[in-house]
Chains A and B, each alone.
Chain A
Amino acid sequence: MLRGFKRLFALLTTSVLAHSALAEEQGAERWGVNMTQGVTEVAHTTYNLHMLIFWICVAIGVVVFGVMFYSMWRHRKSKGYQAAQFHESTAVELAWTIVPTIILILMAIPATKTLYDIYDTEEADLDIMITGYQWKWKYNYLGSDVSFFSNLSTPRTQIDNQQPKGENYLLEVDEPLVVPVNKKIRFLITANDVIHAWWVPDLAVKKDAIPGFINESWTRIDEPGIYRGQCAELCGKDHGFMPIVVKAVPEAEYTAWLDERAAAAVKMRELTEKTFTFDELLAQGEKVYNRACAACHQPNGQGVPPTFPAIAGSKIATGPLDGHMSMVIRGSQKNPAMQAFGEQLSEVDLAAVITYQRNAFGNDMGDTVQPIDILNFKNKQ
């Protein structure tokens, strides 16, 4: 704690200067003060609605505060102003009940219209299932073989201030959601564990992802580009570290990408048959560990007990193989924080990460797990 305060003091004294230098090089995106106008019709309408209500509020504010400041300036005792004694007027009370009601009705009309637009999820060209997990998103292109997880790709070293922060700090992922422009895309949004919310400001789409519910939303993106967003509902420790990146591309490019991903999925299934060497598994396992496990169990395998136990020296990672596979594939029966990774990771990645956990952080089991072992384990159940 004391160290914290010392660091805070150092920050307060030095970083105001450092910051203005940083501001110079990063240019116009900083100091943003308003909602994005977005890249969809709904986003434009929402922006216009927001500005309309804002200006109405400003106008009311000018009148109310104008009268108030005028009387604070003029009607002071120090200026010898004598107080009037009026204190009632039914006509005035009625007027300032009725006039605001009329203003509100005028506001409600465009708001209602926009809401009907947003709720019209019919006749979509393309359906994408979005599932929130602690703390990543899964995208499933319905009607195709393609589905994948999208994780934060900002390195831990940038978050811990050991490296300078990149341009898209905390708003970058390993695999973005790729979608075609000018197509009506319907999102089916749900969650696997706790409530999340999928939000991309440029699309004006924000919908809660709730376990046991499938919410609907839609978008039609006007121009190709990369649009970034974040989880908007507190979902636990790494709520601030599960961004969303949408890459909108022309339709031809999208189709080519989808075909390529479908082919890759087939190839991945074939790899399940292959036998890997210990070193290959260890190398791949480390990558998978850092992507899928390190957020909770920590990069050094020490975990954050009691919710996130250590891997180093753990009974499971240094115990019988079946128990270890069961924990990773099916998740913990006792601790909901330990998810079932069986469907989240490929057989190859599961084999690699289990091998890695048994042979890293001082664990020294010396055994390997092959993808086919994983498949057999899954089929046994």
Chain B
Amino acid sequence: MAHGPQPGFKRWLYTTNHKDIGSMYLWFSFAMFLLGGCMALVIRAELFEPGLQIVQPEFFNQMTTMHGLIMVFGAVMPAFVGLANWMIPMMIGAPDMALPRMNNWSFWILPFAFAMLASTLFMEGGAPNFGWTFYAPLSTEYAPPSVTFFIFSIHIMGASSIMGSINIIATILNMRAPGMTLMKMPLFVWTWLITAYLLIAVMPVLAGVVTMMLMDIHFGTSFFSAAGGGDPVLFQHVFWFFGHPEVYIMILPAFGIVSAIIPTFARKPLFGYSSMVYATASIAFLSFIVWAHHMFTVGMPIAGELFFMYATMLIAVPTGVKVFNWVTTMFRGSMTFETPMLFAVAFVILFTIGGFSGLMLAIAPADFQYHDTYFVVAHFHYVLVPGAIFSITAGVYYWLPKWTGNMYNETMGKVHFWLAFIGLNVTFFPMHFVGLAGMPRRIPDYALQFADFNQIASVGAFLFGAAQLVFLFNVIRTVQGGNKATDEVWENPEGLEWTVPSPAPYHTFSTPPAVR
């Protein structure tokens, strides 16, 4: 058995090392983040002014669709899997992931899935143009021919996610160091364990719904075609039964990251550890019984509307518990504000704002006015950008010295933070206003009264995009060199990952550590 990495590209192609695979996931997700971000900039550039200037409506719809798909499946999810690969074995004192060869496989099918998805842009009829939610029959009878490639790439992404989840569950349940009981696990491990179960539960549902589409398109069935006795609303039920847990898949690991960072920089233990675990589990449970709040306007019976409204409102309770716990962790701490902490604090503030608009959206009669407007766009970008993206960024800054052995440039980190923070709010806050004032989402052109805020949002988007280049530069510089990091990196942080040298050796915990 080789003890170090193979030379050349074979290291990356054949690797079964959790750190290598984690790095590949992270770089891949960052590339997708830039690609999806460029598409967002095309959208914002077109919306800079009323009228059609840069792209035609057909292409605009392809951009909104691909932006959503790439950000959800290509940027956020692989980034979390990358962090899980790097950190879970080091956090629980395991030498590697439980299923290292499958780990390699679940990464390496992803670039093919996304290459296929991206190639649809060059096909006759263009890329998928029916929104990332791909409601039938727009995505079946009325779809461009490339929809079949989209279906196949979704299948591959789903297979990758399921394999990744099996691996994470197997690792966490079987490979913890002696003494690492479940209730001693870091919250990042806990939140990922629950996320992995969510993934295993709902990814097959997504695979099912795209397979039903495939049958409708090519094999003459009528699952979603009313003319053939099918039901277009069934599509939405099945899609959102996947879709709602999916949005929590994109936020639960974020909770884990922030729960690691805030105590470190507040120099105070996390407040209410066990309530955090229970809250995460409650959110995961609730995520399965709220899906139709995305469908308040489809004409459900009132009993259905009421059930989904009440269940959705309930999510505010465990989410509130988490926010209160983080604030209480900060309260009477001894805080410093290095870049990871800045991102984590911004996460708490902005995610809470997104939570408030989520609570407003839960109120079914008010949702009739909000539904499918920019208010919704503002809401989910407030939970996803500061939620998922900021927490991933915070995690990268937090663990980068452990991965590379070098400290990142703190000044550049702070510049990145403030550019991103300002850019994000300038982009997404005005969207609340235009949404309430009546601007529907997914339109390439708009009435004149929405012009001013849209212009502001577009400027913010370019600022946010530029901030990411600072991030990329900072990370590359840190990988190349910089001030040497100590083994602990931060002041007395908690967790097994800080007990190994910086940079973390290729193999860690070949013999299990002692857990207090």
Chain B contacts for A19, CB-based, 8 A: 49, 451-452, 455
Q: How far is the CA of A303 from the CA of B294 in the complex (A)?
A: 35
Question: In the assembled complex, how far is the CB of residue B91 from the closest CB belonging to chain A, in whole angstroms?
Answer: 19
Q: How far is the CA of A64 from the CA of B317 in the complex (A)?
A: 14
Q: How far is the CA of A138 from the CA of B369 in the complex (A)?
A: 22
Chain A contacts for B324, CB-based, 8 A: 64, 96
Q: What 1/0 flags go to B184-203 for Cβ under 8 Å of A?
A: 00000000000000000000
Whether, in the assembled complex, B209 has its beta carbon less than 8 Å from a beta carbon of chain A, the answer is no
Chain A contacts for B440, CB-based, 8 A: 199, 230-232, 239-240
Whether the Cβ atoms of A49 and B366 lie closer than 8 Å is yes
Q: How far is the CA of A77 from the CA of B320 in the complex (A)?
A: 27
Whether the Cβ atoms of A206 and B368 lie closer than 8 Å is yes
Q: How far is the CA of A310 from the CA of B279 in the complex (A)?
A: 58
Q: How far is the CA of A34 from the CA of B142 in the complex (A)?
A: 35
Whether, in the assembled complex, B74 has its beta carbon less than 8 Å from a beta carbon of chain A, the answer is no
Whether the Cβ atoms of A194 and B137 lie closer than 8 Å is yes
Count residues of chain B with CB under 8 A from any CB of chain A. 103
Question: In the assembled complex, how far is the CB of residue A17 from the closest CB belonging to chain B, in whole angstroms?
Answer: 12
Q: A170-B445, A212-B226 in contact; A160/B51 too (CB < 8 A)?
A: yes
Whether, in the assembled complex, B52 has its beta carbon less than 8 Å from a beta carbon of chain A, the answer is yes
Whether the Cβ atoms of A108 and B445 lie closer than 8 Å is no
Query: Residue on B with the closest CB to A60?
Result: B356
Query: Residue on A with the closest CB to B373?
Result: A232
**Stretch with Cβ within 8 A of A (4 or more), from B241-249, B251-259, B328-336:** B328-336
Question: In the assembled complex, how far is the CB of residue A373 from the closest CB belonging to chain B, in whole angstroms?
Answer: 29
Chain A contacts for B49, CB-based, 8 A: 11, 15, 19
Chain B contacts for A118, CB-based, 8 A: 365, 368
Whether the Cβ atoms of B335 and A8 lie closer than 8 Å is no
Chain B contacts for A213, CB-based, 8 A: 226, 232-233, 299
Whether the Cβ atoms of B309 and A111 lie closer than 8 Å is yes
Whether the Cβ atoms of B142 and A336 lie closer than 8 Å is yes
Whether the Cβ atoms of B141 and A336 lie closer than 8 Å is yes
Whether, in the assembled complex, B515 has its beta carbon less than 8 Å from a beta carbon of chain A, the answer is no
Whether the Cβ atoms of B142 and A206 lie closer than 8 Å is no
Whether, in the assembled complex, A268 has its beta carbon less than 8 Å from a beta carbon of chain B, the answer is no
Whether, in the assembled complex, B169 has its beta carbon less than 8 Å from a beta carbon of chain A, the answer is no
Chain A contacts for B334, CB-based, 8 A: 75-77, 81-83
The interface centre, meaning the residue of A45, A75, A82 with most chain B CB atoms within 10 A of its CB, is A75
Q: What 1/0 flags go to A1-29 for Cβ under 8 Å of B?
A: 00010011001100110010011001001
Q: How far is the CA of A306 from the CA of B268 in the complex (A)?
A: 63
Q: How far is the CA of A61 from the CA of B323 in the complex (A)?
A: 11
Whether, in the assembled complex, A299 has its beta carbon less than 8 Å from a beta carbon of chain B, the answer is no
Whether the Cβ atoms of B51 and A115 lie closer than 8 Å is no
Whether, in the assembled complex, A195 has its beta carbon less than 8 Å from a beta carbon of chain B, the answer is yes
Whether the Cβ atoms of B317 and A97 lie closer than 8 Å is yes
**Stretch with Cβ within 8 A of A (4 or more), from B11-19, B82-90, B124-132, B380-388:** B124-132
Whether, in the assembled complex, B471 has its beta carbon less than 8 Å from a beta carbon of chain A, the answer is no
Q: What 1/0 flags go to A365-377 for Cβ under 8 Å of B?
A: 0000000000000
Query: Residue on A with the closest CB to B42?
Result: A4
Whether the Cβ atoms of A46 and B369 lie closer than 8 Å is yes
Question: In the assembled complex, how far is the CB of residue A236 from the closest CB belonging to chain B, in whole angstroms?
Answer: 6
Whether the Cβ atoms of B269 and A53 lie closer than 8 Å is no
Q: What 1/0 flags go to A62-94 for Cβ under 8 Å of B?
A: 001101100110011110011111111100110
Q: A49-B363, A171-B447, A213-B233 in contact; A237/B137 too (CB < 8 A)?
A: no
Whether the Cβ atoms of A194 and B267 lie closer than 8 Å is no
Chain B contacts for A238, CB-based, 8 A: 57
Question: In the assembled complex, how far is the CB of residue A80 from the closest CB belonging to chain B, in whole angstroms?
Answer: 8
Chain A contacts for B453, CB-based, 8 A: 31
Q: A64-B324, A72-B345, A211-B227 in contact; A234/B50 too (CB < 8 A)?
A: no
Contact partner of A67 among B331, B368, B434, CB < 8 A? Answer: B331
Chain A contacts for B130, CB-based, 8 A: 234, 236
Q: How far is the CA of A11 from the CA of B61 in the complex (A)?
A: 22
Whether, in the assembled complex, B310 has its beta carbon less than 8 Å from a beta carbon of chain A, the answer is yes
Q: How far is the CA of A22 from the CA of B401 in the complex (A)?
A: 51
Whether, in the assembled complex, B5 has its beta carbon less than 8 Å from a beta carbon of chain A, the answer is no
Question: In the assembled complex, how far is the CB of residue B440 from the closest CB belonging to chain A, in whole angstroms?
Answer: 5
Whether the Cβ atoms of A107 and B356 lie closer than 8 Å is no
Chain B contacts for A114, CB-based, 8 A: 365
Q: How far is the CA of A233 from the CA of B176 in the complex (A)?
A: 48
Question: In the assembled complex, how far is the CB of residue A242 from the closest CB belonging to chain B, in whole angstroms?
Answer: 10
Whether, in the assembled complex, A277 has its beta carbon less than 8 Å from a beta carbon of chain B, the answer is no
Query: Residue on A with the closest CB to B135?
Result: A195
- Which B residues from 343 to 385 make CB contacts under 8 A with A? 345, 348-349, 352-353, 356, 359-360, 363-366, 368-369, 371-373
Contact partner of A239 among B349, B360, B443, CB < 8 A? Answer: B443
Interface residues, chain A, CB within 8 Å of chain B? Answer: 4, 7-8, 11-12, 15-16, 19, 22-23, 26, 29-36, 45-46, 49-50, 53-54, 57, 60-61, 64-65, 67-68, 71-72, 75-78, 81-89, 92-93, 96-97, 100-101, 104, 107-108, 111-112, 114-116, 118-119, 134, 158-161, 165, 167-171, 193-195, 197, 199, 201, 204-208, 210-213, 215-216, 229-241, 304, 306-307, 336-337
Given contacts A64-B324, A235-B138, A240-B445, 9 further A-B contacts (CB under 8 A): A46-B365, A68-B348, A72-B335, A77-B336, A96-B324, A104-B317, A112-B309, A206-B372, A304-B58
Interface residues, chain B, CB within 8 Å of chain A? Answer: 45, 48-55, 57-58, 61, 124-125, 129-131, 135, 137-138, 141-142, 144-145, 226-227, 231-233, 266-275, 297-299, 302, 305-306, 309-310, 313-314, 316-317, 320-321, 323-324, 327-337, 345, 348-349, 352-353, 356, 359-360, 363-366, 368-369, 371-373, 432-434, 436-438, 440-449, 451-453, 455
24 contacts between A and B (CB under 8 A): A16-B455, A19-B49, A19-B451, A33-B437, A34-B436, A36-B437, A57-B356, A57-B359, A72-B345, A77-B267, A83-B333, A88-B272, A107-B313, A108-B313, A115-B365, A169-B447, A204-B369, A208-B298, A213-B233, A233-B372, A234-B61, A236-B61, A307-B125, A336-B141
A-B CB proximity, top 5 nearest: A212-B226, A240-B443, A32-B437, A215-B299, A83-B334
